[in-house]
Amino acid sequence: MNKQSPLTRAEYWRRARRLTATLVTLWFMLTFGTMFFARELSTLTLFGWPFSFYMAGQGLTLCYLVIVAVYIKRMQSLDKKLKKEPANGR
C-alpha cells in the first residue's frame, strides 16, 4: 500500500496558487490569442466556418469548460491529500 505523506497547509496553498496561475494564464492566452490573431486564423476553416469565428462562438467556451474541469479535478485531488490538522483542545 502506497501511503503519501500529508501536505502541509503551506504546500497545499503553494500548489493551489500555482494551479490557479497556470489555468488563468492559459485562459488569457487562449482568449487574447484568438482575438489578436483573428484575421490570420480566419484563413483556416472548420466545418465551413472561419476558425476564428468558430473559436469565438464555440471553441473557447469548450476550452473554458475544460479549464474548469481540470481545476475541479486537481483541487479535489489536493483536498484529499491535505490531512486535517487536529484541532487544539478538541
**Of 55 and 26, the one with more pLDDT:** 26
Residue 55: how many other CB atoms lie within 10 Å:
24
**Cα torsion 40, 46, 50, 67: sign:** negative
Range 23-45 average pLDDT: 90
CB 15 within 8 A of CB 6: no
For the packed helices 9-36 and 60-81, what is the interaxial angle rounded to 10 degrees?
A: 170
CB 59 within 8 A of CB 35: no
pLDDT score for 86: 46
pLDDT score for 66: 97
Give the model's confidence band at 4: pLDDT under 50 very low, under 70 low, under 90 confident, else very high.
Answer: low
Query: How much is the pTM?
Result: 0.75
CB 84 within 8 A of CB 6: no
